[in-house]
Amino acid sequence: MSLKLTQFSEIGSENTLTSYKHMLFVLTENEEANIPYSEILRTKLKRTHSEYKDLYKTPLTTDLPNAGIASFVVLEGKLNAFQRHTLLRKALAPLLDEQPSELAIFVFGDVATRELNACAAYYVATVNAAKLPSCKKEDKFKALENIIIHGYRAQHDYAYVNARVAGNTLCRQLSITPPNELTPTIYRDRITVLAKEYGWKHQEFDMAKLKAMGAGAFYSVGQGSNPQDAAIVHLTYEPKDAQKNIALVGKGICFDTGGHNLKPAKYMQGMHEDMNGSAVALGILLAATLQQLPVRLDCWLAIAQNHIGPLSYKQNDVVTALNGMTIEIVHTDAEGRMVLADTLTLASRTNEHGQLPDAIIDFATLTGTMISALGTRMSGVIANHAELANKAVHAGNETGERIVAFPYDDDYESDLDSDIADIMQCTIDGDADHIHAARFLGKFVENDVAWLHTDLSSANNEGGLGAVSSDTSGFGVGFGLALIKSLMNDN
């Protein structure tokens, strides 16, 4: 998206603003009498039996004499990032619904407040102005071409916000794409194009190669599809000044039928988004590349489908993973942890320079129990190092993508004891499956590498979430990017 940004230090008078048709006023608690169109605002508030303080919770939109519209919202200093983004999303929605070519944003308060709110408003506006896939006969999308910010003039052009928006948009675009338009073959082709465009090293482990390597956990899932086009894709971003080495791992199940344990229609709806974890990892990789972060990122994408066929894996099969562990299959709809198992093993081994990753972060729409625990407004993480989980929670708070840390206690692992194999894939009843899944996955992380598992229960939230208005939220790109920056600062 090509977008022009213009910034002015001053707000300007009412008379100078008449050319704008779509305006957002981001106010503080003390601005009631000092803003353009204050009379119009007071009249509107009286008509709706509201007061200025009501704008703290519910933004107000009103028509203007110049045939334009304006939204007013009050952002209190005590708000966290999620609350700030949510209020801005609600305030901007009626403006962006008209698909304007130009948007004017006015920020009030002291310098620190103006900087915070200008940045947040710019992010929320641009992330919701992005073009998403549509298969409608008529494409009525019109691009937002120009944003004007009044009240704060930064010394930069918000390039870091643009990078986060680009990563979030890529994640949502891929996740929303219908499954017949994003098969593993098509997905791999798109990744190849991205790798060439952004200069990433690109390597693929296809089914034949994975079978020869002994990656039986991944292979057991991929073998049920026709064609057998599943693969583990490895991308590397390696700037010359890289200070850390971090691995990203993403679950990329392009469609999940549940396999022999077939999902009912209600739960199969939306299963083309079961590749969202891989899209999050790609979005982070893109954002880091655009920001030219001094960190090596190895991005490992487990791309497959979970289909039914004569070769599909089934309950009570025993397969051997890449690390030599044998796995008893209990439920074919627990395919995500199977493809991630071998992928995590690859990610936790030394690279071509003989270096281990400083940390691994995986992303997956993995378990229904995480949704049962949190709903779809937050996501959960589980880590083998407590400090990494704490950093993740902080990164979530900082970026408005809320994270809850769950335990990794080893006594849960006894529930996965098998009479015939080294470990069971899951339990049949599924209680505490989000923790069992983490204990299972942890068996495949080698060399005691610090590892964070992200179960994306908030990948899709009806009505939008935080900054993002679409149901598919792109959750994880902002939090993951912030976590990487935090890890870069570790000695």
Q: What is the pLDDT of residues 286-322, one digit of tens each?
A: 999 999 999 999 999 999 999 999 999 999 999 999 9
- 269 within 8 A of 340, measured Cβ to Cβ: no
263 is catalytic: yes
Amino acid 131: pLDDT: 95
**Nearest alpha-carbon partner for 277 in 305, 249, 306:** 249
pLDDT classification of 185: cutoffs 50, 70, 90: very high
pLDDT of residue 246 exceeding 80: yes
Q: Which fold has domain 4-157?
A: Leucine Aminopeptidase, subunit E; domain 1 (3.40.220)
Compute the distance between CA of residue 244 and CA of residue 350 in angstroms, rounded to an integer: 14
DSSP state of 471: S
What is the DSSP annotation of 353-417? TSPPPSEEEEEE---HHHHHHHTTSSEEEEESSHHHHHHHHHHHHHHT--EEE----GGGGGGG-
Average pLDDT, the chain: 96
User: Domain 163-488 maps to which CATH number in 3.40.50.740, 3.40.630.10, 3.10.310.30, 2.60.40.10?
Assistant: 3.40.630.10
pLDDT of residue 1 exceeding 60: no
**Nearest alpha-carbon partner for 3 in 126, 104, 118, 108:** 126
- Tens-place pLDDT, residues 354-373: 999 999 999 999 999 999 99
Catalytic annotation, pick one of 164, 188, 296, 337: 337
**Mean pLDDT value of segment 258-267:** 96
240 is catalytic: no
pLDDT of residue 487 exceeding 80: yes
Catalytic annotation, pick one of 211, 263, 349, 377: 263
Give residue 392's Cα distance to chain centre.
Answer: 14
What is the DSSP annotation of 219-277? HHHHTTSSS---EEEEEEE--TT---EEEEEEEEEEEE--TTSPPPHHHHTTGGGGGHH
Domain range list for the chain: 4-157, 163-488
- 361 within 8 A of 249, measured Cβ to Cβ: yes
pLDDT classification of 138: cutoffs 50, 70, 90: confident
